[in-house]
Amino acid sequence: AVVIAVPTVSHESVAVRALERGIHVLIEKPIAPTIEAADAILAAAGPGTRVQIGHVERFNGAIRAAEPYLDELLFVESHRLAPFGPRGTDVAVVLDLMIHDLDLVMSLARRPVTGLAAAGVPVLTPSPDIANARLEFEGGGVANLTASRVSMERLRKFRFFQPSGYLSLDLAAGRGEFLRLREGFELEPGGHLDAASLLSVVERIELEGDGREPLLSELESFVAAIRGEAPVKVSGEDGRRALGVALEIVDRIERHVADTNTARA
């Protein structure tokens, strides 16, 4: 088995060579720079060959702690901010950073994306360095995702709003909280709650990750899949699906930037 952590543009050539030799591959995200390259990778995989994609946030302790409380997602908000660095700048921030959150939201929503709007701007590179995307899911549910690689500080936070309550997760710290109304409480029509009263009817559950390094958990998951002890946690198809939405976001942003430049001319 091999871990493929070369630049994204080389994922296809390296992965296909390995898969054609029957070698299992763990490919760093994104799976490839284009859908065609992703399809070539998937086509090269034999029936007994494992392909896992390195969407490491699936193994984040905060996400794992939150999973028992996640149900019907009504609204999701994420912020993933990072200082500028040379790594990953061969692709837009959507493929470098936001794709982590795209994969997470799509895996948790378990419904296809039916609507998409996006905006972004290049700052220090020719491709977008700041991006925002709004996704709408079949049957309802909205996700608003923001990513930046030109920020002064690092931030990786998620907020989930659902019928059963509200979750706030700090992925960098590996912890969060779940807030929900206490069982049996109902607010009368026209009723009012002040801040003090609200605290008495809201139950707060602290969510603490297991402290395990997500990358180690990812590698252990890959080994377990190779041994046939568990299914692949993040499949090649998952990676292709996230890539498809990410590329659509990049396309929308590029058109937005072009329209803005035309309007200024």
CATH number at residue 140: 3.30.360.10
Which pLDDT value is given to residue 216? 97
Which pLDDT value is given to residue 237? 97
Which pLDDT value is given to residue 156? 96
The residue whose two tokens read 């070698």 is 23
Cis peptide bond upstream of 30, omega within 30: yes
Tell me the H-state helices in the chain: 11-20, 35-44, 61-66, 93, 99-109, 195-201, 214-226, 236-264
DSSP 8-state symbol, 95: I
Which pLDDT value is given to residue 116? 96
Residues 87 and 199 grouped into a single domain: yes
Whether residue 260 is contained in a domain is answered as no
Average pLDDT for 166-183: 91
Instruction: For residue 119, list its beta bridge partners.
Output: 132
CATH of the domain at 16: 3.40.50.720
pLDDT (tens digit per residue) in 38-71:
999 999 999 899 999 999 999 999 999 999 999 8
pLDDT (tens digit per residue) in 189-227:
655 655 555 666 788 999 998 889 999 999 999 999 999
Whether residue 245 is contained in a domain is answered as no
Residues 123 and 43 grouped into a single domain: no
55, 216, 244 from 94: Cα distances, Å: 14, 25, 11
187 band by pLDDT with thresholds 50, 70 and 90? low
pLDDT (tens digit per residue) in 121-172:
889 888 889 999 999 999 889 999 999 999 999 999 999 999 989 999 999 9
Domain of 46 in residue numbering reads as 2-55+215-236
pLDDT (tens digit per residue) in 4-48:
999 899 999 999 999 999 999 999 999 999 999 999 999 999 989
85 band by pLDDT with thresholds 50, 70 and 90? confident
180 band by pLDDT with thresholds 50, 70 and 90? confident
Strand residue runs (E) in 29-183: 51-54, 75-81, 113-121, 130-137, 142-148, 155-162, 165-170, 175-181
What domain count does the chain have?
A: 2
| Tokens found for residue 209 | 């990750």
Which pLDDT value is given to residue 185? 59
Whether residue 221 is contained in a domain is answered as yes
Which pLDDT value is given to residue 130? 94
Instruction: For residue 97, list its beta bridge partners.
Output: none
Residues 112 and 33 grouped into a single domain: no
Whether residue 249 is contained in a domain is answered as no
Higher local confidence (pLDDT), 182 or 3: 3
Contact 207, 14 (CB under 8 A): no
256 band by pLDDT with thresholds 50, 70 and 90? confident
User: Strand pairing of 142-148 and 75-81?
Assistant: parallel
Which pLDDT value is given to residue 196? 52
Average pLDDT for 159-188: 86
Residues 100 and 196 grouped into a single domain: yes
Higher local confidence (pLDDT), 88 or 242: 242
Residues 187 and 142 grouped into a single domain: yes
Residues 50 and 67 grouped into a single domain: no
Residues 16 and 106 grouped into a single domain: no
Residues 221 and 159 grouped into a single domain: no
Contact 81, 148 (CB under 8 A): yes
Whether residue 251 is contained in a domain is answered as no
Could you write out the three-class secondary structure of 215-230? HHHHHHHHHHHHCCCC
Which pLDDT value is given to residue 202? 80
Average pLDDT for 163-182: 92
Whether residue 256 is contained in a domain is answered as no
pTM value is 0.88
Residues 6+ apart with CB under 8 A from 264: none
Average predicted confidence (pLDDT) for the chain = 91
Residues 34 and 149 grouped into a single domain: no
77, 136, 161, 178, 248 from 169: Cα distances, Å: 10, 21, 12, 9, 27
Whether residue 243 is contained in a domain is answered as no
Residues 180 and 87 grouped into a single domain: yes
Whether residue 36 is contained in a domain is answered as yes
Contact 131, 147 (CB under 8 A): yes
Residues 107 and 147 grouped into a single domain: yes
Residues 18 and 113 grouped into a single domain: no
